Amino acid sequence: MTNEKKAIDVYGIVCDSWTLRENGDYAVGDKFFNALYFIYVQMEPSQSMTKSIKNLDMYLYEGVGKIITIDKGPYSPTLLFDCGIYAYEFKELPKGIKSGSYVKMRFYLGFDDDDYFIRLTINGKYLCKTNPGMQYDWEIKDILVRAIVGKRGEKYFEDLPVAYVSPKGEIYKRIKKTQARVDCGGLANTYILLCEMK
């Protein structure tokens, strides 16, 4: 594997309140070093072999790249996607897609908060040693929280202006820091971390 230049500079990274409760909250300006995982919503074979990634929405991406199944381990099967940046997911390839082929994929990105990447291996060797370029330097530039409608939800953000409305009609508001245990009444919630890749 070779490291590619970053495809874009700012990424909308999805994060849920359950993960933050376990691993800690984020604030605008926080800097960290982390790998990415992906959650695909659509994958199909690609005729193109030109790696690319583009935003379709605040946090939905479309990319063309090579997908491979890396070795089986405690979290296997593990898929590795290289579309100019690297991300992984613990899932089987869909039928009709072969390891090593190029695919066109729509997906969301998340941070490897539990450091699974450190334990991932390919051909028996740790990826963090053989390909340290899978981890990136990040700085949080903005944080959006979904304003859940209901008696325990939106009232927590009613004085804030709407920052973003998703294609599904979900309302997001801008905050300076996550407080996963109390935001929206402590309900399971979604955050979008707008992060610059350094």
Domain that holds residue 126: 34-136
What would the DSSP string read from start to end of 138-183? EEEEEEEEE---STTTGGGGTTSPEEEE-TT--EEEEESB--TTTG
17 three-state secondary structure: helix
Per-residue tokens: 187:
């309900």
Residue 173 placed within a domain: no
> How many domains is the chain partitioned into structurally?
1
**64 in a domain, yes or no?**
yes
For 35-75, how does the pLDDT look when each residue is reduced to its tens digit (9 = 90+)?
Answer: 999 999 999 999 999 999 999 998 999 999 999 988 766 66
Q: Yes or no: say if 82 and 4 are a contact pair by the CB < 8 Å rule.
A: yes
Q: Confirm if 114 and 162 have CB atoms less than 8 A apart.
A: no
**CA–CA dist 42, 37 (Å, integer):** 15
Residue 22 lies in a domain: no
Give me 173's structure tokens. 């508001």
Q: Which residues of the chain have a pLDDT value below 70?
A: 1-8, 72-76, 150-155
**pTM as predicted:** 0.87
Q: Is 176 part of any domain?
A: no
